[in-house]
Chain A
Amino acid sequence: MRLSISRTTGLCAAAAVALLIGACAPGDDGDDGGDGASGEPTAGDVATDPSELGDVTLTVWDQEVREGQTEQIEALNTAFQEAYPNITIERVSRSTDDLRTTLRLALSGDDAPDVVQANNGRPEMGQYVAAGLLTPLDDYADGYGWFDRFPESVRALASYSEDGATYGEGDLYGLPQMGEIVGLYYSKSKLAALGLEPPQTTDDFVAALQAAQAAGEVPIQFGNSDPFAGIHEFGFVQNQFSDAETIRNLGFGRPGSSWTSDDNVAAAQAMSDWVDAGYFADGFNGVDYDTAWQAFAQGTGVFFVGGTWLVADLTSAMGDDVGFVLPPAGASGEHLVTGGISIPWAIPANSDAKEAAAAYIDFITSSDAMTAVTEAGNLPVIEAEQQTTTGLQSEVFAAWAQAGQDDLIVPYLDYATETFFDTITVAVQNLMGGQSDPQQFLDTLEADYAAATGS
């Protein structure tokens, strides 16, 4: 009796283990892949009147948690539901990082959200596209006229080939609401006290840094314990040394450039020299991003390198004292600026309400929406020139317009490869912390870039 029980139990256990191990390999289970294709609309039959869709519940995942952003997305959601009472929006809002980590699982599930904000670089959107988890939007774009609404430069930032291998062309996978550039904020009163104008060239900038330091000010306010801050700071320096083509190749992960080229060496060297000279706030590796910009807003620091997503916050904290310019022009000869679009809105392939989702995306990127974005203190990705603005916002809009006209925008460097976010954030911390020299820094980046591009 005892024997037979233990034998059966043992057999059962063994069978269970065998079954589990023998079960389909990770990623093969379910029927992903096929779904995306079958759910695509064909050109012409896109219903562009959401009121005819019947009762729909639309689950929307966004990361608009900063002050001005919450305000505008809530206003737009309310307006949308008033216009289309048959559609109910269920909003799920998380910080960028939290959204990023949960999105991977959510997209592959059968019960996927209907609209999500998916960051457009290879670490996110590129992987989702390659796995067939996002819906190509081209047919909706035809139906709603998005090709006319958005210039190609904007669409390219959310376009991939179907296999996800090529970034910057192919099908459209998302639409942004806001534009963003990482420029140079400065304190007008402090700069005036130093008797200086906003810097136009790298030489001006370095002179201003020296003057600020001599006057006992913190030249550049900076916090780098949130890893992403380092990407913006290095991009800001690199923009002054490398030409647009080089940075775009590196940023989009296209073969044909090298991180170890002379211009990049000069940029890394300059960054390292500026740290040694004490131009950055003390202990920046132990300060987080929000603490840094708040310190700048409260009057510590002459300059702050930051994105246009801070406009609303900085305006309410500093009023008229804050100014914004494009990065100085150095060896690159142009005021190149890192940026592009805010995190685009995309439709998961497993969504069961794609038509309503497309209507929602259309609604929040329409002309009226762009006005709402402006009123909340943000930078709309299109039609910025048609908005009325004052103060810091108007300076930001002017810089955005100039960057658009002169083709000055270069991509975020972490777009490059699937692992580049991790690689470059660690590398910048090490470079600026004095743990690696410029050559080691660039070799690290080059290794990741070369492995991914095969060049």
Chain B
Amino acid sequence: MAAAIGRRPGEPRRVAYLYILPAVLVFGLFILFPLIRTAQFSLYEWNGLGASSWAGFQNYRDVFTEPQLRGAFVHALVLVVFYAVVPVLLGLLLAATMSRAVLRGLGFFRVVLFLPQVIPMVVVAIAWRQIYEPNGPLNDLLRSVGLGALARPWLGDYTWALPSVGIVGTWVGTGLCLVLFLAGMSRIPRELYEAARLDGAGPFREFRAITLPSLRGELAVALTLTVIAALKTFDLVYVMTSGGPGTETTVPSYQVYNNAFLLGRVGTATALAIVLTLVVFVATVLINRVGERGQR
């Protein structure tokens, strides 16, 4: 009896820690240790090769004061619109339409819209780079319908390069959102809609009063995934524009790579990486806060 009193029910015994030890070790070795080292590097000025010198918080100051580095974050924010906001809105619209209308071959459309998700981003980037070329299909199309004045070298255009990259993100992200929302909608009890209809609600009212609130969880997941994808964009930019023209399409991840491996500014690169990690972390927490609040 005495032994049982010493430990409240449900309280883990010491041996339990042994079971999670392997996971903790792997986590520590491959995530925690690199993270801490990264944080450490960010306090030094180091070219990645020779000796380093203590820099304190100078690298962080650079991240916020150097126009090129600051600009990268502004570009990332623009990409959030294309990667997250637009796909979520489009996904909602498509899902609402698809779940209401009796469409023949619905599965086919679902697959087509989800397909971009499973293609490697580098392949996506190369394909879209060709689409955007001055003599590529997009411009050919514009010319053939008499909109030749709009044709331009999309990825080399100072105004259009960033939106052009963003639209690829929209193309990729929409399918994910759609599939998530369709799954969520299929979960909503039909009775709710019947009740609403009896109360005289139209399609729009139904959507706002029933569908949208029920999808809060899926919305949070979709936003989390797409916002993170937007903030950590690298592959599209690396393959499609190398950050150009000029620095119009640089993003934080690209600058991390550029500074660490090409410019030999490991300190700046790691400081940038830490700031990016924090931004992603805060964004995720905020989105999930909002998502959870509605569910209570």
> Measuring CB to CB, which residues of chain A are less than 8 angstroms from any residue of chain B?
1-2, 5, 16-17, 20-21, 23, 25-28, 32, 100-101, 104-105, 107-108, 123, 127-128, 130-133, 224-227, 281-288, 291, 418-419, 421-422, 425-426, 429-430, 433, 435
Assuming the contacts A17-B36, A128-B49, A286-B153, asked whether A419 and B263 have C-beta atoms less than 8 A apart, the reply is yes
B247 at the interface (CB under 8 A from A): yes
* Residues of B close to A288: CB separation below 8 A: 129
Would you list 28 pairs from A and B whose C-beta atoms are within 8 A, ordered by A residue? A16-B28, A17-B36, A20-B40, A21-B36, A25-B44, A26-B44, A27-B46, A27-B48, A27-B49, A27-B52, A101-B262, A108-B49, A123-B264, A130-B50, A133-B49, A225-B242, A225-B245, A285-B156, A285-B157, A286-B153, A286-B245, A287-B134, A287-B156, A288-B129, A418-B47, A419-B264, A422-B263, A426-B247
CA–CA, A328 and B161, complex, Å: 34
Interface digits, B44-84 against A, CB 8 Å rule (1 contact, 0 not)? Answer: 10111111101000000000000000000000000000000
Assuming the contacts A20-B36, A433-B246, asked whether A127 and B49 have C-beta atoms less than 8 A apart, the reply is yes
Report which of A26, A227, A287 forms a contact with B153, defined as CB distance below 8 A: A287
Report which of A1, A131, A425 forms a contact with B7, defined as CB distance below 8 A: A1
B235 at the interface (CB under 8 A from A): no
B110 at the interface (CB under 8 A from A): no
* Residues of A close to B36: CB separation below 8 A: 17, 20-21
CA–CA, A435 and B244, complex, Å: 12
Report which of A21, A23, A27 forms a contact with B51, defined as CB distance below 8 A: A27
Assuming the contacts A26-B44, A224-B156, A418-B264, asked whether A433 and B245 have C-beta atoms less than 8 A apart, the reply is yes
Among B134, B152, B264, chain A packs the most CB atoms within 10 A around the CB of B134
* A435 near B152: Cβ-Cβ < 8 Å: no
Assuming the contacts A21-B40, A287-B153, asked whether A225 and B49 have C-beta atoms less than 8 A apart, the reply is no
* A284 near B48: Cβ-Cβ < 8 Å: no
* B50 near A225: Cβ-Cβ < 8 Å: no
Interface size on B, residues (CB 8 A): 45
CA–CA, A421 and B37, complex, Å: 28
* Residues of A close to B258: CB separation below 8 A: 422
Report which of A16, A100, A283, A426 forms a contact with B156, defined as CB distance below 8 A: A283
Interface digits, B155-182 against A, CB 8 Å rule (1 contact, 0 not)? Answer: 1111001000000000000000000000
* B40 near A286: Cβ-Cβ < 8 Å: no
* Residues of B close to A284: CB separation below 8 A: 153, 156
* Residues of B close to A282: CB separation below 8 A: 134, 153
Report which of B11, B41, B244 forms a contact with A225, defined as CB distance below 8 A: B244
Report which of A5, A23, A127, A430 forms a contact with B245, defined as CB distance below 8 A: A430
* B40 near A429: Cβ-Cβ < 8 Å: no
* B47 near A131: Cβ-Cβ < 8 Å: yes
* Residues of A close to B132: CB separation below 8 A: 286
* B52 near A25: Cβ-Cβ < 8 Å: yes
Known contacts A20-B33, A127-B47, A128-B49; 8 additional CB pairs below 8 A are A20-B36, A25-B54, A101-B261, A104-B261, A227-B244, A284-B156, A287-B153, A418-B47
* Residues of A close to B40: CB separation below 8 A: 20-21, 23, 26
- A350 CB, min distance to chain B CBs, angstroms: 12
CA–CA, A2 and B6, complex, Å: 11
CA–CA, A402 and B208, complex, Å: 78
CA–CA, A105 and B246, complex, Å: 28
Report which of B50, B52, B161 forms a contact with A132, defined as CB distance below 8 A: B50
Query: In this complex, what residue of B is CB-closest to A19?
Result: B36
B241 at the interface (CB under 8 A from A): yes
B154 at the interface (CB under 8 A from A): yes
- A171 CB, min distance to chain B CBs, angstroms: 17
Among A17, A226, A433, chain B packs the most CB atoms within 10 A around the CB of A433
**10 tightest CB-CB pairs across the interface, nearest first?**
A286-B156, A283-B153, A286-B153, A285-B156, A283-B134, A131-B49, A131-B50, A101-B261, A27-B52, A430-B246
* Residues of B close to A283: CB separation below 8 A: 133-134, 152-153, 156-157
- B200 CB, min distance to chain A CBs, angstroms: 54
CA–CA, A271 and B86, complex, Å: 40
B14 at the interface (CB under 8 A from A): yes
* A418 near B263: Cβ-Cβ < 8 Å: yes
Report which of A100, A104, A224 forms a contact with B48, defined as CB distance below 8 A: A104
Among B41, B47, B129, B153, chain A packs the most CB atoms within 10 A around the CB of B153
- B228 CB, min distance to chain A CBs, angstroms: 24
Query: In this complex, what residue of B is CB-closest to A422?
Result: B263
- B159 CB, min distance to chain A CBs, angstroms: 11
B266 at the interface (CB under 8 A from A): yes
